[in-house]
Amino acid sequence: MKKNIIIYFCVLLLNIYGCSDKYAPPENLSADVYNLGMEILSVVDELLDMTITVDSAVAEVENLYIKFDYFDELNGWEFSLQVKSSILKSTLTSFRFKVNYIIRWGYDPTPETGATYDDILEGRNKLAEALKQPLRKK
């Protein structure tokens, strides 16, 4: 009897956790496009956590973004994910320019313009939302 209860409990846990779609790609994204989006999201998170440099983040995101060209056709949702990734890539590039200028010259020539941490966070959260991942706060 105890053996049957333990087996039943294990099967129940497998059903609850094994069949959860928490980390599965949304229905409208192929697994390859989803994984590519997750890789980009991971790089941006590393930048926001300050475990990689801006230059490294930009290089990695640019290399990952190129992989969108390998897909023959993207459906509307996948194309939307590509656009969000492109905007995020541009934001990172703008932020890199601003940071490198400040490092080199000691001041920000355009404090009212250019990408900021908040812009990167906003772009990251838009990508995360499309991937059905948790949003990040400041």
List, for residues 39-92, the tens digit of each pLDDT value: 999 999 999 999 999 999 999 999 999 999 999 889 999 999 999 999 999 999
The sign of the dihedral angle between the CA atoms of 80, 86, 88, 94 is: negative
* % of the chain at pLDDT higher than 90: 62
Q: Is residue 12 part of a domain?
A: no
Average confidence (pLDDT) over 11-38: 70
- Maximum distance among all Cα pairs of the chain, rounded to whole angstroms: 76
**Three-state SS at 51:** coil
Q: Is residue 5 part of a domain?
A: no
Q: Is residue 82 part of a domain?
A: yes
The pTM of the full predicted model, rounded to 2 decimals, is: 0.78
Rounded alpha-carbon distances, angstroms, from residue 92 to 39, 45, 59, 64: 15, 12, 10, 13
Rounded alpha-carbon distances, angstroms, from residue 27 to 9, 23, 131: 29, 12, 10
Instruction: Assign 136 a pLDDT band (cuts: 50, 70, 90).
Output: very high
Q: Is residue 39 part of a domain?
A: yes
Q: Is residue 18 part of a domain?
A: no
In terms of residue numbers, what domain contains 64? 26-130
Q: Is residue 16 part of a domain?
A: no
Q: Is residue 45 part of a domain?
A: yes
Separation between Cα atoms, residue 113 and residue 11, nearest integer Å: 56
What total number of domains does the chain contain?
Answer: 1
Q: What is the pLDDT of residue 21?
A: 45
Q: Is residue 116 part of a domain?
A: yes
